[in-house]
Amino acid sequence: MNASEAPQTLRWIGDSATGHLQMIDQTLLPNQLQWLDCRDVQTVWEAIRALRVRGAPAIGIAAAYGVCLGLQPLPMADPERFLVELDRVIDYLAGSRPTAVNLFWALRRLRHVGADVAARSAPSEWLPALLAEARTIHEEDRAMCHAIGRYGATLLADGAGVLTHCNAGGLATAEYGTALAVFFTAKDQGKRLHVFVDETRPLLQGARLTAWELMQREVPCTLICDSMAGQVMREGRVQAVITGADRIAANGDTANKIGTYSLAVLAQAHGIPFYVAAPTSTFDLSIDSGDQIPIEQRGAEEITAGFGRLTAPAGVPVYNPAFDVTPARYIHSIITERGLISPVDTQQIQAIVGSDQRG
C-alpha cells in the first residue's frame, strides 16, 4: 500500500458554509475501520478528548476544522460578534486536551486569520478564509511528514531493527506520520527494516494502531509488551529507537506517550541511539524545560477496566498520567522537517526551529 491508497485520517467534505469534518474513529481500530462525521464543534471536542482522533499533529488539524464548524451557525454580519464567537470556540476546543502543543498552535493560527479577515474582508469571506487556513495546516503537515521521513531514513542502515512506542504514523498526522514516516520512507528507498512495536499501555495504541499501519504498508514488524523492550535490546535486536512527540521544550526535553522516558533510559544503557521525530510545530519555545510541560491525567478506568473488562480490584487508587518527559540528554537527535537537531540543546533548537513558529 502506498500513501495514495492509505485511508486519510481526516478529511473535510463540502464547502465552508455547510461542509463537515470526517475522521477515522481510532477507538475502533483495528477491528473496525469506521468514519465519524463531525458536523458541530461539540463532536470534534469529544473526538479529541475520547482519543477518536489522537497524535499531536492530527489533533491540531482536527481542531482547526473544528473552529470552522463552531462558527457555521453564526450569521456572518457583525465583526465584533464574529470575533467574540471565534474566541469562544477556540477557548472551548483548547480545553479538550492539555499536553499536545499542536492543538494550541493551530488554534492560534485560526485566531490570527479570523482577526485579520474580520478587519479587512466582507462577511462572506470570513468562513472561507478560516477553512482555507485549516486546509493549509493540513497540507503543511503532509509535506512535513514526508520531509521528516527523508531526513530520518538517513539514520537507518539496511537490515536494522528499530523500536517505536505508541503511534506516530499516518493516523496521528495528515498522512505518513513522524516516527513511522522514517520507516515508510526507508522502505520506499529499498531498505529492509524490522520494527518492534511496544503495545503501549494502557490504551494499546501500539498494538491497535501502529501494528495495523505497519501491516497495511507491509513493513515487517513484531509486537511486544512494553516491559519486554529491555530484553529485546539486550538480545541485540534493536539498533535504533524512534518515537514521536507531543511537546518539545526550548531545551529539547520532550513529552510523549507514557513509557517513552523508560525507553530512552533503556536505550542509553544499551548504547542504542534514541531519536525523536516531530515537526517544528511541536516545539514550544515559550517554555524553558520539560518541567513546565503540563501532563494530562486520565481516568482510572483506562487502567482498571480497559476496553470494558475489569482487571483490578474495585476502588483501588490509580495514577494515570498520559505522558512523561524525556530529558534532552537522552535524545541523540530530533528529526524535523528542516533537518536533524543534534546535539539536542537550546542553541541547536534555536538554529533549526528559530523564533518564526507561526502563531
The verdict on residue 358 lying in a domain is no
Q: Which residues of 241-270 are buried (b: 16+ CB within 10 A; e: fewer)?
A: bbbbbbbbbbbbbbbbbbbbbbbbebbbee
Segment 48-53 shows an average pLDDT of 96
Q: Which residues of 328-339 are buried (b: 16+ CB within 10 A; e: fewer)?
A: bebbbbbbbbbe
Task: Please report, for residues 50, 250, 282, 314, 347, the alpha-carbon distance to residue 355 in angstroms, rounded to integers and kept in the order given.
Answer: 33, 11, 13, 50, 12
- One domain, residues 120 and 229: no
The verdict on residue 149 lying in a domain is no
Q: pTM of the predicted model, to two decimals?
A: 0.91
Alpha-carbon gap, residue 306 to 250, rounded angstroms = 35
Interval 267-303: pLDDT, tens: 999 999 999 999 999 999 999 999 999 999 999 999 9
**Residue 144 CB neighbours (<10 A):** 25
**Active-site residue, selected from the candidate residues 246, 253, 284, 324:** 246
Domain that holds residue 17: 10-144
Interval 333-354: pLDDT, tens: 999 999 999 999 999 999 999 8
- One domain, residues 180 and 262: yes
- One domain, residues 74 and 121: yes
- One domain, residues 94 and 185: no
Interval 124-140: pLDDT, tens: 999 999 999 999 999 99
Last residue of a domain, one of 95, 116, 144: 144
Which residues in 64-147 belong to E strands, given as ranges?
none
What percent of the chain lies above the pLDDT cut of 70? 97
- One domain, residues 164 and 293: yes
Three-state DSSP class for 154? Answer: coil
- One domain, residues 213 and 319: yes
Last residue of a domain, one of 121, 144, 167: 144
Three-state DSSP class for 20? Answer: strand
Number of domains in the chain: 2
Contact 56, 100 (CB under 8 A): yes
The verdict on residue 133 lying in a domain is yes
Interval 13-35: pLDDT, tens: 999 999 999 999 999 999 999 99
Whether 345 is catalytic is: no
The verdict on residue 359 lying in a domain is no
Alpha-carbon gap, residue 181 to 41, rounded angstroms = 30
- One domain, residues 173 and 298: yes
What pLDDT score was predicted for residue 359?
Answer: 43
